[in-house]
Structure 1
Amino acid sequence: MGEDSQPQTRLWTRNFVLAIVTNLFISMVFYLLMTSMALYAVERFQASDSAAGFASSAFIVGSMVARLFAGRLLDTLGRRRVLLASLAVFVVASLLYLPANTLGLLLALRFVHGLAFGAGNTAIAAAVQTLIPPARRSEGTGYFGLSATLATALGPSLAIQLSSNGEYEGIFYFCAASSVISLIIAFTLRLPERVRSPGKHSGHHEPSRRSRLSALLDPDALPIASVIFVVGLAYSGILAFLVSYAKARGMSDSAGIFFLLYAAAVLASRLFVGRIQDRRGDNSVMYPTLAFFALGLAMLALEPSVWSIGLAGILVGFGFGALLPCAQTIAVTAVPPARMGTGISTFYFMLDAGTGLGPVVLGALVPVLGYAGMYGALSLLMCSAVLLYFLVHGRTHRGPRRA
């Protein structure tokens, strides 16, 4: 048979809940540091704009490198070993921000911290798929993703509060505590491991045909992951520039309203979108969520107001926030069970690549098009993502998947 022990018949098991909580604390560290690190580099080390930007993006670079190899490690060493080892490094890295007293040390630490995050996040995402009944895979993936959604809503606002007086020690202490908690909970997790089948055959691809690249990025997951690359690039325009856009228009508070309504929309969507995908097929949710995301970006291209930015948050929540678990379900279903770890790492590698590359490309567009023009261009980009999805998946996957 070749994959896990006895299949799960219930969704809400002890281990599923613990996996969600573990991912919540990991994600809290990510969002707290991503939203504060550039400003910290400027205030602590008088870093230039480019160096300050790299203080944030070095984490994503490390995460991308880790995801290239995490899938292979999960499929060979095992999910629990990779998860615990990654979270141990994650804890150590979280404790080293205060002693890091030069910009060079900070950049190196951010890269190593990203390595640990990429490996740990891939491990927990792959492990949780073994805890979800196949017939409820999209629904379960959506519920698991709520942990990251909650961190999206809480992390940035908490970072602002903890650093309101210009001191960042509170952020670092909170991140260290969250990292320790995630490691402790992970020790209590019981994760089914893949049982090796006799011989070396482990999937759709014969070893003689599998290139070195396909051992790192699964070919079966790449089609839907290419869509997620475009989606991640578009979302990076919100992560990197929405606060600056709102501040430039004298509407700083509206950015907070955007993320609050975004989180509320994602929470609402997870209650039903996964069930619809499981029962009616991938296209029934992917086309609407891609369209909602494009509309949300178009709203940001309008003359900004509290209502337009708030509505954009709702649309992006039902778009980007809802389509991520749906697309991840497609990636997981596309790969052989023995290659699930590599499939998930491929999915997240492409998401990180789009999110990391986006600010660089879009930063060059802002002086030319302005913020509104940039969001208009991103809305058109998402329209092209609809066509890309049709070409790589939508035209051949219309009905519900079999359990």
Structure 2
Amino acid sequence: MPQQGKSTRDDAGDGRLWSKPFSLAIAVNFFISLVFYLLMTSMALYAVDRFGASDTAAGLTAGSFVLGALTARVFAGKFLDFVGRRRMLLAGLLFYTVAALFYTPAGSLEILIAIRVIHGAAFGLASTALSASVMALIPAGRRGEGTGYFSISNTLATAVGPFLAVLLVDRTSYGVLYMVTAACAAASLLVALALRLPERTLSPAEVAAKWRMRPADVLEPRAAAIASVMLVAGVAYSGVLTFLNSYAQEQDMVAAASGFFLIYAGVVFVSRFVVGRLQDTRGDNAVVYPILASFAVGLGLLAWAPNSTVLAIAGAFVGMGFGALMPTAQAIAVTVAPDHRIGIATSTFFLMLDAGIGLGPFLLGLLIPLTGFTGMYAVLAVVVGAAMILYHFVHGRSARRPSRP
């Protein structure tokens, strides 16, 4: 009888972290993430410039990509091992590339939103397959460290994407931006063709329950606890990702906005070499509480930001906050789940993160006319402060310190 959760390959079985599949997965994740950030940081302004969209509609246009990803993840986690991890990854990346070609021809706001949803669904399939598979390539005792290294690719995309998007739109046109976006999506597919992922052998019980869609079949309760913190954090970060450029234009600090993301990425890059190891040796609480506090401070500085220097400092705090929180929380989510439910745990984690980032722009678009950008960031700082309390109750009070020195 096949063993539940058994992989056809065990690249992490010898305790070695760096391998060819792990390195290729990092490259694929970079291109996937680069497409996301190229579009997310420019889409709201594009909707306003081309279609005269309101703040609420512009936020919906940006966030609809993530709502498409959220919908796809509901099914991706459940059917990942039935379809096959590599097969789902390649299929998702194929649609990811094709959908990227349709932004320029979109002739109305409604069509643009529909393309965003489809593109996001492809992103959800590909990123779920990749993220779940990478966890099998990382030794269990080095999961915090390994997840941090894997997330470096996302960090680099965070720096390059927004900076490149602003540069291309300012120096060329949105059409060129979308050509670059399609090329990056195609690059992710080409690299993925050389990537071999560990596949799981399904148990008879899993096969028998293939078409069952109970809540437990698409959500992992143990992962949902920490993912609830990411839901709140995702809403807060969506305010940075979607509206920082608009805020900077209003405050005449556009150059500083580009610098914000570069500083953000630099701080996150450095943190990847420290936070993961600290989490593995000192425990989850030793890193999560300071990370959330840093995120709240960064949002507070954005709300104040009287000049470009303060805006840059805010980028450092947000980088040490949300940027370091993602791999830290993901490591918790897959560690608390059984091995045979890592795919569903990964899907659960990103479902709730996507819900926050996807719904955030729409909700904040309703808030901005009432509070302005500064008021919005002040509200988000308080919300992230409250997330520290949420973390305490869903995980912090029961988190155990690792026995490994």
In structure 2, C-alpha distance between the alignment counterparts of 1:100 and 1:303, rounded to whole Å: 37
Matched, 1:264 2:266: yes
Instruction: After TM superposition, give the deviation of residue 172 of structure 1 in Å.
Output: 1.9
Residues 26-74 of structure 1: per-residue CA shift (max 9 Å, x gap): 1111111222223333444455554443332221111110111110121
Aligned length: 397
- Give the structure 1 partner of residue 245 of structure 2: 243
SS of the residue 1:189 aligns to:
coil
- Give the structure 2 partner of residue 214 of structure 1: 216
Contact 1:23 1:148 in 2 (8 A): yes
Matched, 1:378 2:380: yes
TM-score by length of 1: 0.92
SS of the residue 2:217 aligns to:
coil
Q: Bigger shift: 174-183 or 355-364?
A: 355-364
Question: Whose helix fraction is larger, Structure 1's or Structure 2's?
Answer: 2
- Give the structure 1 partner of residue 71 of structure 2: 65
Matched, 1:37 2:39: no
In structure 2, C-alpha distance between the alignment counterparts of 1:103 and 1:295, rounded to whole Å: 36
Aligned counterpart in structure 2 of residue 283 of structure 1, from 282, 285, 290? 285
- Give the structure 2 partner of residue 349 of structure 1: 351
In structure 2, C-alpha distance between the alignment counterparts of 1:74 and 1:128, rounded to whole Å: 13
> Residues 3-402 of structure 1 correspond to what in structure 2 (within 5 A)?
3-4=6-7, 5-8=9-12, 9-165=15-171, 167-197=173-203, 199-200=204-205, 212-400=214-402
Shift in CA distance, 83/196, structure 1 to aligned 2, threshold 3 Å: same
Contact 1:66 1:118 in 2 (8 A): yes
SS of the residue 1:221 aligns to:
helix
Contact 2:59 2:361 in 1 (8 A): no
In structure 1, C-alpha distance between the alignment counterparts of 2:236 and 2:174, rounded to whole Å: 30
Among the aligned pairs, what percent are the same residue? 52
Residues 205-234 of structure 1: per-residue CA shift (max 9 Å, x gap): xx7xx9712211211211001011011111
- Counterpart residue type for residue 195 of structure 2: L
TM-score by length of 2: 0.92
Contact 1:24 1:150 in 2 (8 A): yes
Shift in CA distance, 271/115, structure 1 to aligned 2, threshold 3 Å: same
Instruction: After TM superposition, give the deviation of residue 134 of structure 1 in Å.
Output: 0.9
In structure 2, C-alpha distance between the alignment counterparts of 1:299 and 1:376, rounded to whole Å: 9
Instruction: After TM superposition, give the deviation of residue 375 of structure 1 in Å.
Output: 1.9
Instruction: After TM superposition, give the deviation of residue 170 of structure 1 in Å.
Output: 1.4
In structure 1, C-alpha distance between the alignment counterparts of 2:342 and 2:404, rounded to whole Å: 18
Q: Bigger shift: 70-79 or 242-251?
A: 242-251
What residue ranges of structure 2 are gaps of 5+ in the alignment? none
Shift in CA distance, 50/298, structure 1 to aligned 2, threshold 3 Å: closer
Shift in CA distance, 282/245, structure 1 to aligned 2, threshold 3 Å: same
